[in-house]
Structures are given as C-alpha cells and as structure tokens.
A and B are shown apart, each in its own frame.
Chain A
Amino acid sequence: SQQGEEDPQALSIQEGENATMNCSYKTSINNLQWYRQNSGRGLVHLILIRSNEREKHSGRLRVTLDTSKKSSSLLITASRAADTASYFCATDLIQGAQKLVFGQGTRLTINP
C-alpha cells in the first residue's frame, strides 16, 4: 500500500518559476525523503528530513515537514529545464530498518 500521496499528480510551469509539491502520509515516521526520477532512469536521492526537523535546505531545494498534519512539501526555486522529472516522497517508518514506502509521485514539467 502507498504510504505517501503526492499532490499535484502533474505540474507544468515556466522556467525560472518556483515549483511546490506536497506529500501526505498516514502513519508516524522516522524520516521523510524526496527522490527525483528522470525519464527512463533510476531514482536519485535529493534530501532527507528527520521527524524532529521542520525545515531543511539544499541548494535550490527547500523541504518542510509538519508531523502534526502528516505532510511535507518540496519547493524548487528558480526552476530549470533540467528539473523536468518525477518527484517522489518516501517515508522511512521504523528507525534502523531502512525500509522506504514511496508515494505515486508528481510529474514536473519545466517549459522553456
């Protein structure tokens, strides 16, 4: 069963704009991770946020986590054509188990 649900399922914006994707989950988590998948390729880890953290930054990426609402958001600022990909949130439920449960993803298209 899917733990995380991303919203929206698809997003299309102009290059240079910011893109925001949301993820909701159902049960308590150890941490939440975001991955990117380019067409026809494997997943690339972007960022991890622990359950006791509220916000984290990495380059043009900003992730927030609200454990009371069981939700997270991924913000990509100043988007580029190369950001076109599918983005997945994955929840790590049990400390030490390294078992990720992925959502269905958001398909992001950056238009030049």
Chain B
Amino acid sequence: EAGVAQSPRYKIIEKRQSVAFWCNPISGHATLYWYQQILGQGPKLLIQFQNNGVVDDSQLPKDRFSAERLKGVDSTLKIQPAKLEDSAVYLCASSQSRGTSERKTQYFGPGTRLLVL
C-alpha cells in the first residue's frame, strides 16, 4: 500500500512570494489533514478535510493560507504572501473516517520543508 505522497520535498522562497504544496493521501482515506511543524515544536493542525469538505480550519491563517481538496482526493495548500515566520515543515496526513479510533489512525507523509528568506 502506497503511503501519503507530498511534493515538493524542499522549497526556498523569498518573503512576499507565493508557494503551493501538494498532497496525495492513501487510497480510500476520506480524511485529510495539513499540519505546520516549526523547528523544535510538535505539529499544529492547520486544516482538516472530510472528502472535499472542510471539517476544521480554526488555526489556518486565512489572510494568507488557503487549501482545497476539490475532488476529495488530492489536496493543495497555498501561502500567499509568505512571511519569514512561515518557515516550517508542512505535513500532510490522511486517515479512514469510519470505525474505531485504531482504524482512524493518521498516516503522515514525509513533509515539505519550507524556508522563507
């Protein structure tokens, strides 16, 4: 079974530029998550999708961050314009949406490391 795929793996941009990250979840996983992990900290949930609908985006800085999952499979996360404090690893995770807590375990991709100069 293929895992969660993310691209690019690394991105370096200057502040005020825009950037986009892509995620392909595990086949059949209805729930998709985007996390931000700043160096030395744990991941922080940015947005959670159930199929193509948003479940939780309470911690997404909506003035500059946007995300979509139009067909309920792949997802993109965009930052426009980027700030220095956006330098972080952006992790995508997916999970099943039904069953026990064990069946709804989140599986993470390798992440995209973003550096904003």
Contact = CB atoms under 8 A, between A and B. Distances in A.
Interface stretch (B12-20, B70-78, B100-108): B100-108
Given A48-B101, A48-B102, A50-B101, A102 B108 contact: no
Contacts of A41: 110-111
Interface stretch (A12-20, A60-68, A71-79, A92-100): A92-100
Contacts, number: 55
A45 B41 CA distance: 17
Interface of B: 4, 31, 40-45, 48, 55-56, 91, 93, 95, 97, 101-102, 104-111, 113
27 contacts: A2-B42, A4-B42, A30-B101, A33-B105, A40-B113, A41-B110, A42-B4, A42-B91, A42-B109, A42-B111, A43-B43, A45-B105, A48-B101, A48-B102, A50-B101, A88-B43, A97-B55, A97-B56, A98-B95, A98-B97, A99-B45, A99-B48, A99-B56, A100-B106, A101-B45, A104-B41, A105-B41
A105 B42 contact: yes
Contacts of B102: 48
B34 to A, nearest CB: 13
Interface residues of A, number: 25
Nearest to A102: B42
Contact of A88 (B42, B95, B110, B111): B42
